[in-house]
Structure 1
Amino acid sequence: MSDMLDCTDPDTRPMAIGTAARAVAAGSVVVLPTDTLYGIGADAFNPSAVTTLLAAKGRGRNMPVPVLVGSWTTIDGLVSAVPGTARDLIEAFWPGGLTLVVEHAPSLAWDLGDARGTVAIRMPLHPVALELLASTGPMAVSSANVSSRPPATTAQEAYEQLGESVSVYLDGGEVPIGQASTIVDLTGEAPVVLREGAVSLAALREVLGSVG
């Protein structure tokens, strides 16, 4: 049976996050609030857990799972080299609603789907997410909904779609943004916006000058 744990109360939040962290370490999937939407997450370095995550969403390997990190510097251990544009965007928008697609380090023992050597990384601006990531390390996290259905902005909405396929639901109240992150691909010669969301094109242009 899934646990729905309250993270809005400072007295109960540490226990709730500890329970979720143990579930992640055991290879289970959990639901957590982020600044943009609720996410369904698993240990990024546990292929079986990532497979469970994809199955819960009804999603194929052709849509690789993004990775959430708990600090700016974590990206340095996940990629071969951090492009200068990535540094500029991280400084401007992390933590926050911007996901960066970069080439991951070939030595990493993970399987996030058919990512073809790339990974989508974001640092969220939400205390519950950051506290959980501090305990677990990088997590594979996708929006907490069944594919093709609306993304969840509350823990209850996530439960109504994902049900008992998730071990622990961290209830942090309604998310502050309620919109998916913006995704920028940095693997080519010039940055390309794959999805406009929480960070506007105008804000990106202030940092990059131009963006495709």
Structure 2
Amino acid sequence: MRVLRPRSEEDVRRALIEAKEVLESGGLVIIPTETVYGIASKLEFAEKIYEAKRRPRDKPLPVQTPLGRHREVGEFDEAAEALAKAFWPGPLTIVVKAKPWLPEAVTAGTGKVGVRVPAHPFALKLLELVGPLAVTSANLSGGKSPKSAEEVTVEADLLIDMGPVEGTPSTVVEVEGKKVKVLRRGPISEEEIQKVLSALRS
């Protein structure tokens, strides 16, 4: 696995170009996000993430998108849109109805997709270059989410090491109408989420 440790602006620029080339050729890239290190693929190559992680095939893959392009992959109603506006870029994954074109390897046949816009500068720049990506934590299924490159336990074609990150996986919520179910607790609290939704109801 090739490892890049970009530190200067020029290093970052070169790492972005190389990561883009790997992804567009069907490869896997491990990238830092503000929450954990993630393993990423283009959506049409998402099957490779299951193989790398030994992930159960009935477990959908989250999708990360550039800011403003989330509606390309999911159906965002008023409540979901309000949460996206309030917390993105940031550590909130919003589960919504998937667009019909998404590969089954992403949705695992559920008809739903978890969407997030990450706040890490490298991840955001890469998404702006290549568009939406399947991204999930870079550990073997059931293992600990890595907060540094040293803790990564899966193989990929390229690893971008930019030092330690927060290490707390995102909050995951499912939105149906104005009802929101918290599927995984994380950095954004249920109270913060309900505050946004309360403003919609008032």
Q: TM-score range by the shorter chain?
A: over 0.9
Distance 2:59 2:73 in 1: 19
Within the candidate set 68, 71, 78, 2:73 is matched to: 78
Task: Say which SS state the counterpart of residue 192 (structure 2) adopts.
Answer: helix
Within the candidate set 144, 149, 165, 1:150 is matched to: 144
Distance 1:104 1:113 in 2: 7
Unaligned residue ranges in structure 2 (runs of 5+): none
Q: In structure 2, do the counterparts of structure 1 residues 143 and 62 end up closer, same or farther at CA, with 3 Å as the change threshold?
A: same
Distance 1:182 1:109 in 2: 24
Kindly indicate whether residue 108 of structure 2 is the aligned counterpart of residue 118 of structure 1. no
Q: In structure 2, do the counterparts of structure 1 residues 69 and 58 end up closer, same or farther at CA, with 3 Å as the change threshold?
A: same
Task: Say which SS state the counterpart of residue 111 (structure 1) adopts.
Answer: helix
Task: Say which SS state the counterpart of residue 64 (structure 1) adopts.
Answer: coil
Aligned to 2:189: 200
TM-score (norm 2): 0.92
Q: Which amino acid aligns with 1:69?
A: T
Aligned to 2:37: 38
Aligned to 1:141: 135
How large is the Cα RMSD of the aligned pairs?
1.7
Distance 1:184 1:174 in 2: 26
Task: Say which SS state the counterpart of residue 106 (structure 2) adopts.
Answer: coil
Q: Is the 8 A contact 1:31 1:40 kept in 2?
A: yes
Q: Is the 8 A contact 2:98 2:107 kept in 1?
A: no
Aligned to 1:186: 175
Q: Which moved more, 1:110-119 or 1:177-186?
A: 110-119
Distance 1:43 1:199 in 2: 27
Q: Cα deviation per residue 1:163-202 (whole Å; 9 max; x = unaligned)?
A: xx30000111111x21000011014662111011121112
TM-score (norm 1): 0.88
Within the candidate set 95, 112, 115, 1:101 is matched to: 95
Q: Is the 8 A contact 1:8 1:171 kept in 2?
A: no
Aligned to 2:53: 57
Task: Say which SS state the counterpart of residue 185 (structure 1) adopts.
Answer: strand
Unaligned residue ranges in structure 1 (runs of 5+): none
Q: In structure 2, do the counterparts of structure 1 residues 107 and 167 end up closer, same or farther at CA, with 3 Å as the change threshold?
A: closer
Deviation at 1:109, TM superposition (A): 4.9
Percent of aligned positions that are identical: 33
Q: Is the 8 A contact 1:99 1:122 kept in 2?
A: yes
